Amino acid sequence: MCGIAGLFHLGTPKPVDPARVGRMCDALAHRGPDGSGVWTEAGVGLGHRRLSIIDIEGSPQPMHSADGSAVLVFNGEIYNFRELRRELERDGAAFRTDGDSEVILAAWQRWGIDCLERLHGMFAFALYDRNRKELLLARDRLGVKPLFMAPLSDGSLAFASELKGLLAHPLLRRETDPRAVEDFMTWGYVPDHRSMLKGVEKLPAGHFRLLKHGGPAAQPQQWWDVDFSKRKKGTTEDLSVELLHLMREGVTSRMEADVPLGAFLSGGVDSSSVVALMAETSRDPVTTCSIGFDVKELDETGYAQKVAGLFGTQHHARTVQPDDYHEVDRLVQMFDEPFADASALPTWRVCQLAREHVTVALSGDGADEAFAGYRRQVFHAREEQARAVLPEFLRKPLFGGLGAIWPKADWAPRPLRAKSTFQSLARDGATGYARALSVVPPEIRGQLFSDELKRELGEYRAEQPLVELMRNAPARSGLDRAQYADLKFWLPGDILTKVDRASMAVSLEAREPLLDHRLIEFAAQLPHRARIRGTQGKWLVKHTMERYLPDDILYRPKQGFVTPISEWFRGPLATQAKAISSGAGLARTGWFNPRALARIAEDHIARRADHGRILWQLLMLERSIKHLQITG
């Protein structure tokens, strides 16, 4: 796991200052504390920060191919590199190192752009072919590893693993994209199709860019997608056997490391399944880490301890006080762009704990998206059944009218929030799901935003890209489309961003075995009954893991990392809530209506409403503006 950065001149190849590339890499030192390197020649510069995982003494980067004609900087891991190496050796390739980086170089020279389909793993890399005068930028299938890009005024393209790498370049523009404000206030993060800064792009998951000196700035091209349009056949047990095989492959392939390796263990289905399969393979006890809270209803450490006992792991647990509000600025520095998923705090804490014992940790991320494990997916599947029975001309006036008059009940469990259900059923499936996934609905955003920002946004609404993604999905049903959107939109923008930044902040490599692309492709073809039965999502996974895990782990209500932000803003952060409307940070941007902000804060503090999540978003936005040194 590493950090990469570089510069590429699209026009005339100009000299590249290695010190400038070095400064971009230095901003990423937390991603790679074990080594650094810079290589430049006319028109190109590549930089690297290394966290040594495999072939610790060898494989320095930037790495040259055996003949010196190609140069690589690479962030990630290729899990099938030994198989590829053997195949390439049969074709005559010779290797000087024992790591995976040199295999990427040889694969490029043997198969060209088709090498991407052969790479199983998580990666973002830049490869410069000195003969072709081409730069290949590539990102893994699901977007586990990030890559930011920005054109500069001197005609070069800058790229880096994190935005802070680009911020280290003096020519980067620091002008805000107003659509990113709309996106952030809708989702609580800036999705991958947008950046907080105008001109900055994120290479989409499963895409590459092939750039050439003197040529046009080639746009990203998709090299992988997940297809929900097909259905697997077979008995439940046949599917279960295949699933278990793929899960084992995903876990065992990610257990190779020349440094201490362990796992995150929350006590939920996914992390417990990963630990069970690790214990099945490992000769030594698995090292596991969990974080708990001193608030009983938020604490899962008892379940984690039970799983640890079942498999004899070396378990490490820590209880944190649910008052980490003083770490807000640390989070802002970690993410650069505003990021308001409050579970980032406990995620960072468990990464800190894990780094005290291991350098690599396996997680359970990805199964909910792939196998329909989220409650919202279960509700959406039910709503789609209702939409199939009632045509739109009946649903829209009936449920739209009920949604307008029904009292709002955010405090209630989702099944009892009839207002939200009615509002969703009045819309088509894609629009309804986008609304369910959003944090702040458009009518509330309309109250918060200033007239000036509304004019800048015009007709744009943050839900539009998600709705379009769902409507164009390679899918057969509404559930398919919802899962496709979760995998392509929510997963890289929120979940994987959170885990990457939180783990890399402490120089820990996090690996996601349940995001093995073969497992994802299998899950996308499962019949609905293998995904959802009754109120149970992720049904086939739970059924399959019954041979390893007890029912109170598999079938208890789903929990996640929860941070008590609502109470923070009525207690230690109450002054911050009041200051949001009167402070200079948001006020000078001109994006918000100060009276609406004041009303949000007052109603929350007085317990007339629960606006804790909105206040957290506003606070993170305000601090990020300061961190990015932008004024609007």
In a 13 Å sphere around the CA of 156, the CA atoms on its Cβ side amount to: 25
Residue 137 DSSP SS3: strand
Give CA–CA dist 184/438, Å, rounded.
Answer: 10
Q: Assess contact for 144 and 11: CB atoms under 8 A.
A: no
Is 54 annotated to bind a ligand? Reply is: no
Q: Tokens at residue 292, please?
A: 């708990």
Give CA–CA dist 511/504, Å, rounded.
Answer: 12
End-to-end CA distance of the chain: 34
Give CA–CA dist 554/268, Å, rounded.
Answer: 7
Rg over alpha carbons for the chain, rounded to the nearest Å, is: 24
Is 373 annotated to bind a ligand? Reply is: no
Give CA–CA dist 119/510, Å, rounded.
Answer: 18
Q: Assess contact for 373 and 269: CB atoms under 8 A.
A: yes
Give CA–CA dist 204/146, Å, rounded.
Answer: 9
Longest Cα–Cα distance of the chain, Å, equals 73
Is 100 annotated to bind a ligand? Reply is: yes
Q: Tokens at residue 19, please?
A: 């010190």
Our CA angle for 559, 562, 564, nearest 5°, is: 145
Give CA–CA dist 395/397, Å, rounded.
Answer: 6
Residue 246 DSSP SS3: helix
Q: What is the DSSP letter of 450?
A: -
- Within 8 A by CB and 6+ apart from 404, the residues are none
Whether residue 25 lies in the annotated active site: no
- Within 8 A by CB and 6+ apart from 199, the residues are 150, 151, 173, 175
Give CA–CA dist 632/617, Å, rounded.
Answer: 17
Residue 102 DSSP SS3: helix
Give CA–CA dist 145/348, Å, rounded.
Answer: 17
Give CA–CA dist 12/147, Å, rounded.
Answer: 24
CB count within 10 Å of CB 193 equals 16
Is 363 annotated to bind a ligand? Reply is: yes
Our CA angle for 611, 365, 421, nearest 5°, is: 45
> Of 2, 25, 115, 289, which is the active-site residue?
2
Task: Give me the active site residues, please.
Answer: 2
Q: Which residues are documented as binding site for ATP?
A: 291, 363-364
Q: Which residues are documented as binding site for L-glutamine?
A: 100
